[in-house]
Structure 1
Amino acid sequence: APMDESDSDAEPAPRVGGTDEDDKYPVDGKFTSEAERAEIMAMREVDRERILAERMDEVERQRQRRRLRQMIEETERRNVKKKRSADTAELEDGQRKASRQRTGKGNESAMDSLRRARA
């Protein structure tokens, strides 16, 4: 029996991720237990292949959902970082705008001199 446990533990190890799919079919990624494995392998080939195909589809859907969640989380992290950097930039712009000197008088005198030259 100890050999069976170590064999079944060796298969799921590469799929360590803490998701439901890792725990659902721990034996070869297809069976819930060695007893179930023996039961399914004793079935007619058509029935066995149908069950295994359904399980593989289910596992693939779960993997896709996990990848989608990871992509969404990554996108949200990027958006938060962009927002933080944009907020920082806005603060810097606000500081620059407040400290910038206005040169309105220089423009008025230039306009005045142009009007005088045309008049």
Structure 2
Amino acid sequence: MRIRSAAAVTMAGAFAAIGLLAPPATAGGNDNAGAWVTGGTVHNYCAVGDFCLYTGMLYSGRVFGLPNCTDYAMHEWNGIGSWKNNQTPDSYNTDAEFKDARGVVIGHAWLQYGAEPAVNLTPAYYVRPCG
């Protein structure tokens, strides 16, 4: 599903349409407890130039910085997390893509939206910062 117009659909609406938006209920204590990203670097903050995944809602938990334009494999993401798109538009397309187990795009993280405080990352198996 490709949605390019911010006026047509909000980010929350786009993620809800494909099942990536978190439900209003709070995630359980063990959600994403064992989550990791192949090639991702664990940080204390989201560095400038990185697309970042957080294991918890509201930018909490472990932070995985993803600086390169490549597919990163997501392992053991089993619940609600969050993301920040802190990339700079100078080097490449900075709209990230989430992909399912087959590599099919199931959602986007557009730079203009900047961040999503609560998103169900269970269906995502890959993320590519430069979609």
Q: Same fold (TM over 0.5)?
A: no
TM-score (norm 2): 0.20
Rg comparison, structure with higher value:
1
TM-score (norm 1): 0.21
Which structure shows the bigger proportion of residues in helix conformation?
A: 1
- Whose relative contact order is higher, 1 or 2, with alpha carbons under 8 Å and at least 6 apart? 2
